[in-house]
Chains A and B, each alone.
Chain A
Amino acid sequence: MIDDRTLAEAFHKAKAADRMRVPPLPAILARAECAREMQNRRRFTAAMWCASALAGAGTLCAIVLAPGGFPLAMSPSIAVVLAPGLVAALWGLAPARTALQ
């Protein structure tokens, strides 16, 4: 009968018999620092995309809600101006979402 104590001893012996190279801590710290910088950069990019998307949406809302703005927004000339901006803003949400994950 193998009891818990025997089992625990066997596991401890197996653990003690393991041979591995412990990487130097400075190398791990450097990798962590690099990863943190990358994360900060991704967050900054995400913030920029979000700001772009909000600005685009805000501009469109302001034009539509302004007195006489709706017909203006529907006019072909303003649509030509706004459409690329709106597409860029909406398109910006995808990388922002990805970067925030």
Chain B
Amino acid sequence: MSGPDFGAWYEATYPRLWSWVRRVLGDPNAASDVAQEAFVRLLQSGRQSLPEAERAPYLFTIARNLMRDHWKRRARIDESGGEDVRSVAATGSGDIVAAIDLERALDGLSAQERSIVWLAYAEGWDHRTIGRVVGVGEKSVKVLLFRARKHLVRLLGGTS
């Protein structure tokens, strides 16, 4: 992949990756660390030339593994765990109410549920791709997504 092409892809993909990692980890600073490290590892592996359809899932898979490492480290440092430092981005736009509602609803989901619903609805990925990223089978994604969606809708105040 040539420099300018990768530059454009990087500019477009970094925010997508950061948004997902932030929702899963609940910490904007940790999300920045993980997103940067994921790009470094992608470049280090020399797989930046993969086709676009495979490159983003590969990058997200690297980030998933880095998040696991982050959780392990955090569990070692803070035995009490469970502290959620999730914060909502203040934008001042008229849609913020809807955004806050979604953020609060996402808070009520498990990390895996947050991860799967985000990839399905914000990224629009199919079950197979989501399965590759989160490390579960395609059929399991279908079931997990169904449950996570139901849970999310309940938290949003709608009937499931």
- Using a CB–CB distance below 8 Å, which chain A residues touch chain B? 1-2, 4, 7-8, 10-15, 17-23, 25, 28-29, 31-32, 35-36, 39
Contact = CB atoms under 8 A, between A and B. Distances in A.
Contact of A35 (B7, B18, B40, B159): B40
B152 interface: yes
A17 to B, nearest CB: 5
B99 interface: yes
A11 B39 contact: no
Contacts, number: 89
Interface stretch (B9-17, B64-72, B76-84, B132-140): B9-17
Contacts of B149: 7
Given A14-B122, A32-B40, 6 more contacts: A8-B122, A14-B103, A15-B19, A20-B18, A20-B28, A20-B32
Interface residues of B, number: 40
Interface in B33-60: 36, 39-41, 43-44
B147 to A, nearest CB: 14
Q: Which of B6, B28, B99 has the most CB of A within 10 A?
A: B99
Contacts of B44: 32, 35-36, 39
Chain A interface, >50% SS class: helix
Nearest to A6: B158
Contacts of B152: 7
29 contacts: A1-B159, A2-B153, A7-B121, A7-B152, A10-B99, A11-B118, A12-B122, A13-B98, A14-B19, A15-B122, A18-B15, A18-B22, A19-B89, A20-B14, A20-B19, A20-B28, A21-B32, A22-B10, A22-B11, A22-B14, A25-B7, A28-B10, A28-B36, A28-B39, A29-B43, A31-B36, A31-B40, A32-B39, A32-B43
B156 interface: yes
Interface of B: 6-7, 10-11, 14-16, 18-19, 22, 28, 31-32, 36, 39-41, 43-44, 89, 91, 93, 95-96, 98-99, 101-103, 117-118, 121-122, 124, 149, 152-153, 156, 158-159
